[in-house]
Structure 1
Amino acid sequence: MSNQDELEEIRESKREEIIDQENAADTPDEPVQVEGPDHFQELVGTYDVALVDFYADWCGPCIALGEFIGEVAAETDAAVLKVDVDQQQQLASQFGVQSIPNMLVFKDGEPVQRLVGLKDKSELVAAVEAAA
């Protein structure tokens, strides 16, 4: 392979990389509060991977999990969505949330993994990375 062929191959690779980056939706660096079913569908449809945290303000384990949730949003390529089960009962019911904290990992708009109960940051990151 000549130097010219190598350079052209590198250029093509870089072009594809740039196009992929432009087409990928930038994920938010902090959790996004879901405002309703339509907003939820829009968000999970926008991002390749989303970690959805079903929680309640009165839930002690949910409060403890909140710190990790923010770190996952900042440190991974997943969108992190927060669904208050008291305000969004329809969504909680739709996804079979019977206890909290309850998290679903979505890939390309479809749920692929559920995590129930208090989890540490490494478990959340591993679930997100497995879906990526």
Structure 2
Amino acid sequence: MTADTTSGADSTTPTEPQAVDGQAALDEFVAANDVVLADFYADWCGPCQMLEPVVETLAAETDAAVAKVDVDENQQLAAAYGVRGVPTLVLFADGDQVEEVVGLQGEDQLRSLVEQYTE
């Protein structure tokens, strides 16, 4: 069995961040995974680039699935979640939005936030 998230039929959490395009794709991703960390980012954003290895590590080492949402390509989706600055991280647990963190965060802080919902 692979960690492929396209099927959604198994309970394997993806170990790499998954690009998400549009509300329907995000809804489906959140529904398929117990805990999802959605990273709203922009390619031109320096702090977003600095956060990239942190979210990759969290995807690999925690039970949370990581969704990457490019705010330039998904402006309506970003607006729907009230994203006004990047990076913004939105945490979902059991299908509900439970946390929102704006700005560059340390790995330890994000890991402890995620682990509140994955244990």
Give the TM-score of the pair, scaled to structure 2.
0.89
Q: Residue 114 of structure 2 corresponds to which residue in structure 1?
A: 128
Cα deviation, residue 47, structure 1:
0.5
Q: Residue 97 of structure 1 corresponds to which residue in structure 2?
A: 83
Aligned-residue RMSD, C-alpha: 1.2
In structure 2, distance between residues paired with 1:77 and 1:103: 16
Q: Which has the higher helix share?
A: 1
Cα deviation, residue 24, structure 1:
6.6
Give the TM-score of the pair, scaled to structure 1.
0.80
Q: Residue 59 of structure 2 corresponds to which residue in structure 1?
A: 73
Residue 106 (str. 1) matches residue 92 (str. 2):
yes
Aligned residue pairs, count: 110
Post-superposition, which runs of at least 4 consecutive aligned residues in structure 1 deviate over 3 A?
none
Q: Residue 4 of structure 2 corresponds to which residue in structure 1?
A: none
Residue 27 (str. 1) matches residue 17 (str. 2):
no
Unaligned runs of 5+ in 1: 1-22
Q: Quick one: which of 40, 48, 63 aligns to 2:26? A: 40
Percent identity at matched positions?
47
Q: What SS is found at the alignment partner of 1:86?
A: coil
Cα deviation, residue 124, structure 1:
1.2
Cα deviation, residue 131, structure 1:
1.7
Unaligned runs of 5+ in 2: 1-8
Question: What amino acid is the match of 1:69?
Answer: V
